[in-house]
Amino acid sequence: MKNLTKRFGEVIANDKVCLTVRRGEILSLLGENGSGKTTLMNMLSGIYFPDEGEIFINGQPVVIRSPKDAFDLGIGMIHQHFKLVDVFSAAENIVLGLDGKAVIDRRALSEAITGISRKYGFEIEPERKVYDMSVSEKQTVEIIKVLYRGADILILDEPTAVLTPQESEKLFAVLRNMRDDGKAIVIITHKLNEVMEISDRVAVLRKGSCIGTVDTACTTPRELTEMMVGRSVTLDIDRPSVPRGEERLKVVDLTCLSEEGVTLLDKVSFSAYGGEILGIAGVAGSGQKELCEAIAGLCPVQGGAILYAGEVGGVPLHENLVGKSPMEIIRKGVALAFVPEDRLGMGLVAGMDIVDNMMLKSYRTGKGPFADRAPARVLAADVVERLSVVTPGLSAPVRRLSGGNVQKVLVGREIASSPSVLITAYPVRGLDINSSYTIYHLLNEQKEKGAAVLFVGEDLDVLLELCDRILVLCAGRVSGIVDARWATKEQIGLMMTHSGKGGGKK
Pick one of 178, 348, 355, 453: the residue that binds another protein (CB under 8 A): 348
Question: How big is the chain by its Cα radius of gyration, in Å?
Answer: 24
Q: Is 323 in the site for another protein (CB under 8 A)?
A: no
Which residue's CB is nearer to another protein, number 154 or number 495?
Answer: 154
Q: Is 416 in the site for another protein (CB under 8 A)?
A: no
What are 12's strand-pairing partners?
Answer: 7
Q: Decide if 424 contacts 454 (C-beta within 8 A).
A: yes
Type of residue at 261: G
Type of residue at 238: D
Pick one of 150, 182, 212, 240: the residue that binds another protein (CB under 8 A): 150
User: 374-386 and 403-416 are packed helices; what angle lies between their axes, rounded to 10 degrees?
Assistant: 120
Which residue's CB is nearer to another protein, number 184 or number 227?
Answer: 184
Termini Cα distance of the chain: 43
Pick one of 196, 350, 390, 481: the residue that binds another protein (CB under 8 A): 350
Q: Is 137 in the site for another protein (CB under 8 A)?
A: no
Shortest Å distance, C-beta 312 to another protein:
15
Q: Decide if 491 contacts 470 (C-beta within 8 A).
A: no
- Ranges within 221-240 binding another protein (CB under 8 A): none
Stretch that binds another protein, among 53-61, 231-239, 310-318, 425-433 (CB under 8 A): 53-61
CA distance linking residue 395 with residue 80, whole number of Å: 29
Which residue's CB is nearer to another protein, number 145 or number 361?
Answer: 361
Pick one of 29, 73, 130, 153: the residue that binds another protein (CB under 8 A): 73
Shortest Å distance, C-beta 469 to another protein:
27
Pick one of 51, 223, 226, 341: the residue that binds another protein (CB under 8 A): 51
Q: Decide if 3 contacts 168 (C-beta within 8 A).
A: no
Reduce the DSSP state of residue 164 to 3 states and report it: coil
Pick one of 94, 336, 387, 454: the residue that binds another protein (CB under 8 A): 336
Q: Is 307 in the site for another protein (CB under 8 A)?
A: no
Closest CA to 394 of 357, 364, 346, 361: 357
Within a 13 Å sphere around the CA of 375, how many CA atoms are in the beta-carbon half? Answer: 13
Report the b/e string of 326-337 with b at 16+ CB within 10 A. Answer: eeebbebbbbbb
Stretch that binds another protein, among 34-42, 270-278, 351-359, 426-434 (CB under 8 A): 351-359
Q: Is 360 in the site for another protein (CB under 8 A)?
A: yes
Pick one of 312, 317, 371, 374: the residue that binds another protein (CB under 8 A): 371
Q: Is 314 in the site for another protein (CB under 8 A)?
A: no
The β-bridge relationship of strands 2-8 and 52-57 is: antiparallel
Shortest Å distance, C-beta 58 to another protein:
8
- Ranges within 243-302 binding another protein (CB under 8 A): 296, 298
Shortest Å distance, C-beta 146 to another protein:
13
Q: Count other C-beta atoms under 10 Å from residue 461's C-beta.
A: 14
Which residue's CB is nearer to another protein, number 126 or number 347?
Answer: 347
Contacts of 252 (CB under 8 A, 6+ apart): 269, 304, 305, 306, 307
Q: Is 145 in the site for another protein (CB under 8 A)?
A: no
Q: Decide if 249 contacts 322 (C-beta within 8 A).
A: no
Pick one of 195, 264, 278, 330: the residue that binds another protein (CB under 8 A): 330
Stretch that binds another protein, among 50-58, 229-237, 275-283, 460-468 (CB under 8 A): 50-58
Q: Is 24 in the site for another protein (CB under 8 A)?
A: no
Shortest Å distance, C-beta 23 to another protein:
14
Pick one of 235, 327, 374, 378: the residue that binds another protein (CB under 8 A): 327
Q: Decide if 78 contacts 155 (C-beta within 8 A).
A: yes
Pick one of 11, 18, 317, 378: the residue that binds another protein (CB under 8 A): 11
Pick one of 369, 385, 486, 500: the residue that binds another protein (CB under 8 A): 369
Type of residue at 192: L
Query: Which alpha helices (H) appear in 402-488, and where do they start and end?
Result: 403-416, 433-448, 460-466
Type of residue at 9: G
For residue 290, CA distances in Å to 61, 185, 309, 482 come to 51, 36, 21, 21
Question: Cα 231 to the chain's mean position, in Å?
Answer: 25
Q: Count other C-beta atoms under 10 Å from residue 113's C-beta.
A: 24
Q: Is 346 in the site for another protein (CB under 8 A)?
A: yes
- Give the binding site for another protein (CB under 8 A): 7-11, 49, 51, 57-58, 60-65, 69, 71-74, 150, 296, 298, 325-330, 336, 338, 344-352, 356, 359-361, 363-364, 369-371
